[in-house]
Amino acid sequence: SYVLTQPPSVSVAPGQTARITCGGNNIGSKSVHWYQQKPGQAPVLVVYDDSDRPSGIPERFSGSNSGNTATLTISRVEAGDEADYYCQVWDSSSDHPVVFGTGTKVTVL
Amino acid sequence: EVQLVESGGGLVQPGGSLRLSCAASGFTFSDHYMDWVRQAPGKGLEWVGRTRNKANSYTTEYAASVKGRFTISRDDSKNSLYLQMNSLKTEDTAVYYCARGTLGYCSGGSCVYYFDYWGQGTLVTVSS
């Protein structure tokens, strides 16, 4: 089945930029979605279809996808952005069509 | 306002059964695919399975880890989604979320499919 690899952790100072990568074989040919999950809460969709934002999500959250890597970028990081982040794709070639990344813990220093 | 509310979690012995429910409101339930996603304690998200909508004949798909043991069903008249879990194992211990699936365009064998709303989750503990 398709595998999505994320760094376990990313640390960033307030006001700086955090970049979270999601690696997968030819992921640039797929549509990538990103979720934010704070402790004890359900995941929240922050970016869908590589770079679109749901209503209510700040413009500070942006996404890109090319080649073997998709990236979620959080600009002007705030303390409230500290959370786990997961990427997700649909892989129609396997019997496990919905695949989540391994997750990245973002720590705001 | 879209709401998804799970119920039915609890403690069950290995080999036992449990049925989870998800009550939906605030949208046309019958139009949407609905999925179950779980998260073991301290671990990442794992897709469990999906039921398509009426237009797609309510067909279901499952992760290999639960296929043959779990069954997803829905009752559009009650705006409800269900997960029947049989032959439970200790490794099934997790918070179970229901999530609304949104299917976008498909191109070149790849589709846009994401979860735009999630329930708060219900904890299932499998232990003797």
pLDDT at A96 (0 to 100): 78
Q: Are strands B94-107 and B18-25 parallel, antiparallel or unpaired?
A: unpaired
d(CA A58, CA A74): 10
SS3 state at A104:
strand
Is the CB of B108 less than 8 angstroms away from the CB of A97?
no
- Mean pLDDT for B98-109 is 88
Q: Answer yes or no: are the C-beta atoms of A8 and A14 closer than 8 Å.
A: no
pLDDT reading at B108 higher than 90: no
Burial class (CB in 10 A: 0-12, 13-18, 19+), B119: buried
In sequence order, the 6+-apart residues with CB closer than 8 A to the CB of A24 are A2, A3, A4, A5, A30, A68, A70, A89
Q: Does B97 touch chain A (CB under 8 A)?
A: yes
Is the CB of B104 less than 8 angstroms away from the CB of A49?
yes
User: How confident is the model over A67-94, as pLDDT tens digits?
Assistant: 999 999 999 999 999 999 999 999 877 7
Closest chain B residue to the Cα of A46, Cα to Cα: B116
Q: Does B47 touch chain A (CB under 8 A)?
A: yes
Residue numbers in B near A98 (CB within 8 A)? 35, 47, 50, 113
What does the mean pLDDT of chain A come to?
95
Tokens representing A3 are: 């595998």
- Mean pLDDT for B14-30 is 97
pLDDT at B105 (0 to 100): 84
**pLDDT confidence bin for B9, thresholds 50/70/90:** very high
Q: Does B23 touch chain A (CB under 8 A)?
A: no
pLDDT at A97 (0 to 100): 87
User: How confident is the model over A18-62, as pLDDT tens digits?
Assistant: 999 999 999 999 999 999 999 999 999 999 999 999 999 999 999
pLDDT at B110 (0 to 100): 78
Residue type at B47 in one-letter notation: W
User: How confident is the model over B30-85, as pLDDT tens digits?
Assistant: 999 999 999 999 999 999 999 999 999 999 999 999 999 999 999 999 999 999 99
